[in-house]
Structure 1
Amino acid sequence: MINALESSSTRPYLIRALYEWCTDNGFTPYVAVQVDDTVQVPREYVKNGEIVLNISFDATSSLKLGNDFIAFKARFAGTAREINVPIGRVIAIYARENGQGMAFPAPASAASAPGQPASVDGPAPALRDASRPDGDPKIMHLVTGDELTDESVADASAGDGEPPRPPPATGGAKPSLKRIK
């Protein structure tokens, strides 16, 4: 009999399930990723050590949601890029349209790494802080004062040569979380 410590992580299975739920319901799946040297993403879109990626069918090519990595090809500002994200670096997956999704515990190495920038805006910090210390994921609903905009996401579908615009410097309410039980 396999005990809990010997079993495989539920994270990749939950990510695949929520990705499928998003696509079945016509939503756009986004993943929030805590970036370190093991993550292969366009560094110019990393903000405060994190990046949010649109992983919808329309935004990606050759998407593979494996047990160890999420890998795909995408265009950023018209340039094709290879994206490779270790599953353990994914801190949330959610639907852009309504914010429903799941947060995961932050990677242990990032929580204790000195010099790691602390994120101060966007949905990922609140999601990460809401994660339980026992490692269980939480089902969350992201509540924003305004509609969640593509401006805060490194949107791979932006193949029009225009890089995603940074979030506005002023105005707009900060996102907060509402726990759904």
Structure 2
Amino acid sequence: MNALDSTSTRPYLIRALYDWCTDNGFTPYVAVSVDDTVQVPREYVKNNEIVLNISFDATSSLKLGNDFIEFKARFAGSAREIMVPISHVIAIYARENGQGMAFPMGTHSATDASGAEPGRDAGPATAGDAVPPVATPAHPHGTTDGSDGKIMQLVPESTSDAGDDGLDPTDPPKPPRARPSLKRVK
């Protein structure tokens, strides 16, 4: 079997990062590009994207398959069935520190979120850019997570106003100021 005949690495990387998040006590979030093949609550979709909390506490019957991510979750108290094609997953990351992985946009639509042609790399993900809203299923214990989750944005929103702050838009983004630290609890 050669590399062209092999299966995609995306579902394996998603499962690995999900396991890493849960093993370390982090909340795994997935950013999803939404079109007609994605079954999510449309009222939470912004700019054809949605961010979903896929933690054990927020979902039931979670299946991270090779073709789909499937689970049941509550949105505003209403139970919903969610089904996301793996090819539509833009990123998976930990809510608490933003660590994770972004994936290139697939060829499932005519253009991706940046307007670039399909198959073209939109550039590296950068932490600390604008954050899309997070659609978080209701917590089973009655609490809900707010939209304070952070995600890496795949492309800058616009380059026309980049000159306003005196920075060259081609400069790499600066790393976040605050770094997570380990607190020892005795």
Normalising by structure 2, we get a TM-score of 0.68
Over 3 Å counting, the alpha-carbon distance change for 1:34 and 1:90 in structure 2 is same
- Indicate whether 1:156 and 2:137 are aligned: yes
Choose between structure 1 and 2: higher strand proportion. 1
CA distance in 2, matches of 1:14, 1:71: 16
Structure 2 stretches lacking a partner, 5+ long: 115-120, 157-172, 176-186
Identity %: 67
Give per-residue Cα distances to partners, 1:56-96, cap 9 Å, x unaligned.
Answer: 00000000000000000000000000000000000100000
Which residue in the other structure is 2:161 paired with? none
Displaced runs of 4 or more, over 6 A: 159-167, 174-179
Counterpart CA distance in 2 for 1:166 and 1:97 is: 12
Deviation at 1:109, TM superposition (A): 3.0
**TM-score between the two structures when normalised by the length of structure 1:** 0.70
Greater RCO between the two (CA within 8 Å, min separation 6)? 1
SS in 2 for 1:21: helix
User: Out of 116, 125, 129, which is 2:122 matched to?
Assistant: 129
Check the 8 A contact 2:136/2:146 in 1, yes or no.
Answer: no
1:20 and 2:19 correspond: yes
Specify the structure having the higher radius of gyration (Cα). 2
For 1:142 and 1:56, the matched residues in 2 are separated by 21
Tell me how many residue pairs correspond in the alignment.
Answer: 149
In 2, the alpha carbon distance for the partners of 1:13 and 1:178 equals: 30
**How well do the aligned residues superpose, as a CA RMSD in angstroms?**
3.3
Structure with greater proportional helix content? 1
Secondary structure of the residue aligned to 2:61 is: strand
Structure 1 CA distance for aligned equivalents of residues 61 and 67 of structure 2? 16
Residue number in structure 1 paired with 2:40: 41
SS of the equivalent of 1:13 reads helix
CA contact (8 A) 1:78 1:161 kept: no
Q: Which runs of 5 or more structure 1 residues have no equivalent in the other structure?
A: 120-127, 132-139, 168-173
Q: Structure 1's 161 and 44: CA in aligned 2 closer, same or farther, altered over 3 A?
A: farther
